[in-house]
Amino acid sequence: MARYLKALSLSLVIAVFLGGVALVFLLILSGGRPVDFVQRAVLRLALSNRQAELDQPIGTDDTPIRFTIAPGDPPALIARRLVENGLIADPILFTNYLRLEGLDVELEAGIYFLRQTQSLRQIALALTDSRSSNITFTVLPGWRIEEVAAAIDRSRLFAFNGAQFLALVSAGAPVDPNFAELVGLPQGASLEGFLFPETYVLPPDISAEELRDTLLNAFISATVPQMRADAQAQGLTLRDVATLASIIQREAVHDREHSMIASVYRNRLAIGMMLQADPTVQYGLNGARGSWWPRITQADYQSVASPYNTYRVQGLPPGPIANPSLSALRAALYPAESAYYYFRARCDGSNLHNFSTTYEEHLASGC
């Protein structure tokens, strides 16, 4: 019996010693965090047969989806919202992966633009750094303000919608009095013509008001002081220039024709001839035919009752019909010198124009 107890005691001593060695080894191996080490080992084992799920995107739609992490949001809440947004399928797999890779403590509050085509791994890593998030937004030359609003809705990246933006730029919206004075904007007029066409890289938390101001400030920056002085010397406001430029923009497909088309309209204005510009008839229809720029007929020249219809109204229309580029603005202010009063599209499909001095020449150049 004494021999048995002695052997048992020795076994216990050895077991304690080995346990102590194992504990020391575990402490060293885990960096002093044995519980976390064991938990991660369990997670690694649990995820070992789910590697394909970690690398498989949930869908094929590459459209960016706006996703926000608020300060203090726990991983479980973030995972649940990723599922609700159609970005991942399994919230538990996501949180387990975060824990395994140590990303659960690196998630960063901010705004992100995620895609269904990103894998779970890629999404998890993306959510650790919001600094690269931005909105690339393009305003095309010749768009109406409504088309800018539609582009906001198509992007799905902004925290506001197109209708909210449109309310800030339409007729009757409050306008900075300094801007109104600078461009000659009448009280109550819309900001049509001043949403400067450009590709913008914007912060993800930009507001509708800030986007409006960004586009207006770009117009101010583009129309340098010399242009403003030259407009004033010609008896024009910047709004007059933008009005003529918007017609030029809609008439020309190629920028190189801007200055020549401008010369035609400036020549007509100089002798009191009607502008007779088709885009003003389209604008006057105001989307009534399912498009902002529908195909029109000769009958429309007189039947479209609108103050913008320059087949019925003398001189410039009441304001811009679109948002012109800098090329069109410069052409309106600095037109080519010519004796032309007419132009029409060539018959070769080039989208270029033939220019004529007389109406007879104009008719002869038809297809």
275, 251 contact by CB (below 8 A): no
- Total-model pTM: 0.83
Q: Show the CA angle centred on residue 195, arms to residues 192 and 201, nearest 5°.
A: 160
pLDDT at 131: 85
Distance (Å, whole) CA 245 – CA 242: 5
pLDDT at 11: 61
DSSP 118-146: S-HHHHHHHTT--TT--EEEEE-TT--HH
One CATH from 3.40.50.620, 1.50.10.10, 3.20.20.140, 3.30.1490.480 for 51-126: 3.30.1490.480
Mean of the pLDDT values across residues 4-29? Answer: 54
Distance (Å, whole) CA 34 – CA 56: 32
Instruction: Name the burial class of residue 262, with classes exposed (0-12), middle (13-18) and buried (19+) by CB atoms within 10 angstroms of its CB.
Output: buried
Q: Is the dihedral of CA 222, 226, 228, 231 positive or negative?
A: negative
Written as six digits, the tokens of 136 are 């690339």
Looking only at the bridges linking them, the beta strands covering 342-345 and 198-202 are: unpaired
Confidence band of 24 (pLDDT split at 50, 70, 90): very low
221-275, pLDDT tens digit by residue? Answer: 999 999 999 999 999 999 999 999 999 999 999 999 999 999 999 999 999 999 9
Written as six digits, the tokens of 227 are 């242009």
pLDDT at 95: 94
Confidence band of 7 (pLDDT split at 50, 70, 90): low
47-79, pLDDT tens digit by residue? Answer: 778 888 999 999 999 999 999 999 999 999 999
DSSP H helical segments within the chain, as ranges? 2-29, 34-47, 51-55, 75-84, 91-101, 120-126, 145-155, 162-169, 177-183, 208-222, 225-233, 238-251, 258-270, 278-285, 300-303, 326-333, 359-364
Mean of the pLDDT values across residues 295-299? Answer: 95
Q: Is pLDDT above 60 for 190?
A: yes
Percent of the chain clearing pLDDT 90 (strictly above): 80
Distance (Å, whole) CA 194 – CA 13: 87
Q: Is the dihedral of CA 233, 238, 243, 247 positive or negative?
A: positive
Q: Is pLDDT above 80 for 279?
A: yes
pLDDT at 323: 98
DSSP label at 224?
-
Q: Is pLDDT above 50 for 146?
A: yes
**Domain residue spans in the chain?**
51-126, 134-222, 225-367
242, 324 contact by CB (below 8 A): yes
Q: Is pLDDT above 50 for 26?
A: no
Distance (Å, whole) CA 118 – CA 55: 8
Mean of the pLDDT values across residues 318-336? Answer: 98
Secondary structure, 3-state, 284-321 = HHCCCCCCCCCCCCCCHHHHCCCCCCCCCCCCCCCCCC
Instruction: Name the burial class of residue 53, with classes exposed (0-12), middle (13-18) and buried (19+) by CB atoms within 10 angstroms of its CB.
Output: middle
Which position has the higher pLDDT, 123 or 363?
123
Confidence band of 34 (pLDDT split at 50, 70, 90): low
* Residues with Cβ within 8 Å of residue 56, at least 6 apart in sequence: 119, 120
Partners of residue 355 on adjacent β-strands:
343
Mean of the pLDDT values across residues 36-42? Answer: 65
CA distance between the termini of the chain: 121
77-118, pLDDT tens digit by residue? Answer: 999 999 999 999 999 999 999 998 999 999 999 999 999 999
Distance (Å, whole) CA 264 – CA 358: 12
DSSP label at 112?
E
Mean of the pLDDT values across residues 166-171? Answer: 98
pLDDT at 366: 81
